[in-house]
Every structure is written in structure tokens, then in C-alpha cells.
Chain A
């Protein structure tokens, strides 16, 4: 874990892969719930030699509540893959608490907060500015330094896993550098700010 990943202080909008994540972070900030963005990468599949084949980095960790949150505003075909990953995560790390927020949950949340008009702009491909590599199933993020956060502490799940070593992307799948991810995230946040001015 780096200083960048755990630095306390005001949240920056940059670094999110999807506009819905930026909106979710704003909701957490509003209710003064500490959060970290993608602070952990959990290996969930290994080959016979012990090499990590597949990993999963939940979107948010709420340290005070000791729960991970994974947001998805994707179509159902991709949600099934994410469901499988979450099931696998729960099997391998039974002490870990993770909440999966589906598109319908996010939509309901927006409705509740009077932001229903933003749902289509913050959902699925509309809110996505990077190819959703997670949905493809095998890309390991390498480490958690792309994460943001308001909390400087790590609680539940902190010692469950070490950051996984990077594995090669599948054929035809381009792995983005961290700086490219950040640039894309900043564009996402900028887009979110445009549609949801505060």
C-alpha cells in the first residue's frame, strides 16, 4: 500500500474508471463514510504452478464498515461474470464482506436521491471511459496504487492477500498502463461532473 493509496484528505474526482463510481464516491463523502478506491487485488484463480490466472479488485473498500463494494452498471451478460467472481471471492475469503451493487441498485439509489435523470448517463457504456477489462475476466491490476481514498487506515481484509503479480492480458486484450488508467479516470470524472454539477 502506498502513500498515494491511503492518503487522507479531500477526495479527488480523478482516477475512477466509471462515472457511476465517481457518483458513488460523492454519496459516501456526503454521508461521511470513509472509502478507498480499489485498494486490494484478490487472486481468485491459480494454475497448477501457483501462478495467478485471475484476480478481482472490488471497486470500493469502506474501512470503518469493513465492507467491500463492487458497482456494476453493465448489461446482464457481463454481470454474470461479475457474479461468478464475487462468489469465488466469497468462497476463497470467507471472512471478507462484499456487497455487489447492480445496475438496478444504482438506479434505485439515484431515484432515491432525485437523480434519476442521470442514470442513463452514469450507467453502462455511457459512463464507461475505459474498456471494462474486469468484465473480460482475466486482467490482473497489479497493485492498488490507482486507488483513492479518504481514510488512512486499513481494516478488514487487509491481510487476506498480497497484491498479485501482473499476468499477461489475454490475446487481443490490451493492458493499459496506470497513467493511462488515471488519464481515462480523469476524463470519466470530468464527464460525471459535467452531467452532475455540484
Chain B
């Protein structure tokens, strides 16, 4: 495991500071509170990357809400090599039928995972389903899915921190930064 100091030095540039993240998350929370006024909301966080975002966002939403967690396998993961298909590693713990669902994502890149998740969740007959993404990286978007709430649109760079990882590391950085190429090229 890398020492914490190394984590920071592996970052070439701070793309979004802790303060910027805090301000944006608060703004999103207010917006969501207004849009869903008088309704009960279910936030669904997609593990693992969206966990810090979800934790901060829910505290800025002044509504009665439930939270739930999902985890899906990613392409290339060892657990999926036998089937060659995406797998639900952790499903919702409660039904969402008839409920307003807000899917909370850390980053939207190709849109392939999001596309899969929305199709899956729609099969559970929620009243509505919307998407809240902290980061939108449109450069490689394959699936055009409307993002209802977006924190930041970011350039085509490999970013880590605030839940985002490289090789399961860097998630605990308090900012979003661009990883030095030599880190992943090595």
C-alpha cells in the first residue's frame, strides 16, 4: 500500500479542489431538494466510486430520503471472465417500485455502465429515474443518456480522488486530480 504522501505526489494537477467539490455538491443538493419537493426520494449509489459523493450529497438534500447501494462488475474484472457479461455484484436491498429514484454516479465516461444500470433499474418499475453525476467526461461517450444533474464537465484526462481510483488506490484523496501518466504507464 502506498503511503499517503505518495498519493498526492502521483497527481500532476488538482482539477477540482476540496472547496470546489463542497460548493458544487451543496448546489446540487439544493437543486435536487427543490425539484423533488413534496416527494420521497431514493438515492442509489453505484459502488465504489460514488460513495464519497453520495455521502456528501445526501446531507445537502432536505427531503425524506432512502439510500441504497449497487455494485456491478466492470469489464476486465477477474470475477466476470467466465461469463463475459456484466454482473450485479450487489443488488438493491429494497424494492424501488413506484418510487422516485436518483442514480448517483461519480463519473460518466462511455456511458456503457450507466446505460446498463438504467435498463436494469427500469425493470424494477420505479416511478421515475434520474441521474446525478459528479463528473461528466463526454470525450468518449458512446451512449448518449441525458444527465439530469451534473457537477462538472471535465476534459479527457485520467482523474482520481474523491472516490475515483486507479487500481483501487487514490479514492481517499479529498480532491479530484489528474494522475501522472508515468503512474499508469508503469
CB distance from A156 to the nearest CB of B (A): 12
Candidate in A27, A69, A115 with the most chain B CB atoms within 10 angstroms? A27
Q: What is the chain B residue whose CB lies nearest that of A113?
A: B76
State which residues 22-59 of A face B: CB under 8 Å: 26-33
Q: Is the CB of B115 within 8 A of A33?
A: yes
Interface: A96 (CB within 8 A): no
**A62 and B142 contact, Cβ closer than 8 Å, known pairs A108-B156, A113-B75, A116-B184:** yes
Q: Is the CB of B75 within 8 A of A30?
A: yes
CB distance from B104 to the nearest CB of A (A): 20
What separation, in Å, do the CA atoms of A27 and B80 have in the docked complex? Answer: 12
Q: Which candidate, B23-31, B52-60, B105-113, is the interface stretch facing chain A?
A: B105-113
CB distance from B12 to the nearest CB of A (A): 15
What separation, in Å, do the CA atoms of A194 and B182 have in the docked complex? Answer: 27
CB distance from A90 to the nearest CB of B (A): 16
Q: Is the CB of A30 within 8 A of B85?
A: yes
Total interface residues in chain A, CB < 8 Å: 26
Interface of B: prevailing SS: loop
What separation, in Å, do the CA atoms of A101 and B185 have in the docked complex? Answer: 20
Interface: A114 (CB within 8 A): yes
8 Å CB contact of B112 from A33, A114, A115, A198: A33
Interface: B19 (CB within 8 A): no
What separation, in Å, do the CA atoms of A179 and B84 have in the docked complex? Answer: 28
Interface: A1 (CB within 8 A): no
CB distance from A34 to the nearest CB of B (A): 12
Q: Is the CB of B112 within 8 A of A27?
A: yes
Q: Is the CB of A27 within 8 A of B75?
A: yes
Q: Is the CB of B112 within 8 A of A31?
A: yes
Interface: A105 (CB within 8 A): yes
Q: Is the CB of B86 within 8 A of A32?
A: yes
Interface: B77 (CB within 8 A): yes
State which residues 102-149 of A face B: CB under 8 Å: 104-105, 108-109, 111-116
In the bound complex, residues from chain A placing their C-beta under 8 Å from that of B85 are 29-30, 32
State which residues 37-96 of B face A: CB under 8 Å: 74-77, 80-81, 84-86
**A105 and B142 contact, Cβ closer than 8 Å, known pairs A31-B116, A32-B116, A114-B76:** no
Interface CB pairs A-B, < 8 A, 12: A32-B85, A33-B112, A65-B144, A67-B142, A101-B140, A105-B140, A108-B140, A112-B109, A113-B74, A114-B76, A114-B167, A197-B81
Residues of A within 8 A of B (CB): 26-33, 62, 65, 67, 69, 99, 101, 104-105, 108-109, 111-116, 197-198
Given contact pairs A30-B86, A116-B185, A197-B81, a sample of 19 additional A-B residue pairs in the complex whose CB atoms are under 8 Å apart: A29-B85, A30-B75, A30-B80, A31-B75, A31-B113, A31-B115, A32-B85, A32-B86, A32-B119, A33-B112, A33-B143, A65-B142, A67-B144, A104-B156, A105-B139, A108-B140, A109-B110, A111-B184, A113-B74
| Minimum-distance CB pairs A-B, first 6 | A113-B76, A31-B112, A30-B75, A113-B75, A114-B76, A105-B140
